[in-house]
Structures are given as structure tokens and as C-alpha cells.
Amino acid sequence: LDEILAHKRREVELRRAQRPFESFEAALASSASELRPPLLARDGDRAAVEMAPSSSFSKSRTVSAIRPFAVTLRQPGVSIVAEFKRRSPSGGELRPGASAGEMARLYSACGASALSVLTDEAYFGGTDADLVEARQASSLPVLRKDFVVDAYQIYEARAVGADAILLIVRALTNQELRDFLDLTRHLGMDALVETHSEDEVRRALDAGAIVVGVNNRDLDTLVTDVTLAPRLRPLVPPDCIFVAESGVSQPEQIATLYAAGADAVLIGESLLRAADPGALLRSLVAAGAPRGARV
């Protein structure tokens, strides 16, 4: 992870030189509207849906109107966030020849609730063009999955049409996490705040995270422990949205996460490697379908 973050900081400096920070502010400032899309707010022991006044960043002729990511994942049952990525450091090339638009259409048709698109190029082979293509091919909200180390990337995400971004607790200081969450909401987007330990879950909650993810894969060792998310689930209060990430590939695992109280699961590699990703996704969606009240 440290290697990726160091590379990302250099990459952001290069991009900032090519397109100054102020150009994003100018483009987004032209996107005035009266309301943001529905946002989830921490409110006691429940998730409140609010329509918040926009500071001017929601709709535009040039910037896509935001699709609600958090609200979508709050639906009954276990929502599936289906991911497109070209390769990974641990898995290599995942589905040669596949396009982001093709997979987005397939995911949408087979029951996914939201999309995730890797836009890191150096380590995952992705680009912002993949996100744009996926979003144009589907009506689902799209998470821009990248390694955020600078506020520049948050403005950049909104400018390319992302509905939500990933913030990795391990990659940020407490102050950066709070500031980046505030900026994300200011721009009308949601943030999936990723954790991998009890301490990181507490840091996410202290910073005001609404959507809390637990990555079963250690980003330093790349070792996956699928029992981690269920173990950490009790630390996340019911007014937040809990997302399990990595290592999930079977309907039985979705059923286990359903019983543990997960709201959503982010799945990428298993879908992209499957002989029939549509059939696998349909089986995962069926396993997460609501079955009455959960304890």
C-alpha cells in the first residue's frame, strides 16, 4: 500500500500541473441546483434520509447529476456493488478484452445495486474513461475506486461523474479523513470509508463516516480473511451502512453476511473471473434478497 500511495502522490502532482485545481472549481461551480440527491445522515440509532441544500455542485449541463450511492445501499437485504477492474497486483489480468460498458450493462441487468470502477492506472490498469463508459452504460450509482491522497482527486472524481469515492482509513490522517469526508459531502457525493481493523473502524466513525467498509484483504500482505467483516460488524452502529469487501464469491458467503447484518458487499474479481459472470451475480443477488427481519 505504501508503494501505491507514494506513486499516487507523484501522479497527482503531475495531473495538477496538467489541469490546475482551479479548473475543477470553475467547472463545478457552474453546476448550480437547488437540491442535492438524497443523503444519509447519522441520526441517533437510525439512518435519516435528507434533502440537503446544495452549495452548487449537484447538477450541470457539463457535470452529471449525482445518483444516490448510500441511499441505494440502504435497501432491504444485502446489496451488491459490482466492480470492474482490469487487473490487480495480486490477481494479474482479470478479464482480457472486457470493457467497462459491457460489464456495467451486464451487472445492471443481473441485479447489482451499484457499480465500482477502478481508475488507478499504474497498478490496476484503469482510467477515468472506464468510469465514464460504465456510467453511460448504466443508470446505477458509480463508485470511483482509487487511492485518495489529495483533495484534488475528490474534485476530479466529481468532475468525471463519480457518485461516490473510496477513502482508505489506513492511507489518511484523522484530519485528512475528516476534511475529505466534508469535501465529499460538500460536492454532493458519498464516501465508502474502508477499514481493516477495530481501530480503523473507530477512526472512520469518529470522522463521521456514514458508509463503512471492511476490506477482508490486508492491503500490505494481500492476505484475505473472509471472517474479518462479520467479526467487525458489531462495531458499526445501525445508523451507518456496512459494506463487506474482498474475498466473497459464493452465495453461502452472502447468506453469512446477511445473517451478520451486512448492508452490502463489494465484489469484483470473482465476477470478472467467472465463466458466466451474469449467472454468478444473479445467484449472489438472490442470496442477499430480504427474508424478513434480521436480528
Please report, as a single letter, which amino acid is at residue 78: V
Dist CA 108 CA 139 (whole Å): 8
* Number of residues that make up the chain: 295
CB hemisphere CA count around 138 (13 angstroms): 34
Give phi and psi for 204, each to the nearest 5.
-60, -45
Dist CA 101 CA 84 (whole Å): 9
Pairing mode, if any, of strands 211-215 and 114-118?
unpaired
Element (H, E) at 28: helix 21-29
Element (H, E) at 200: helix 198-206
| 265 within 8 A of 252, measured Cβ to Cβ | no
Instruction: Give me the active site residues, please.
Output: 83, 85, 145, 194, 215, 245-246
| 283 within 8 A of 271, measured Cβ to Cβ | no
SS3 of 229-255: the string is: HHHHHHHCCCCCEEEEECCCCCHHHHH
Among 43, 37, 39, CA closest to 238: 43
| 83 within 8 A of 267, measured Cβ to Cβ | yes
Dist CA 104 CA 135 (whole Å): 8
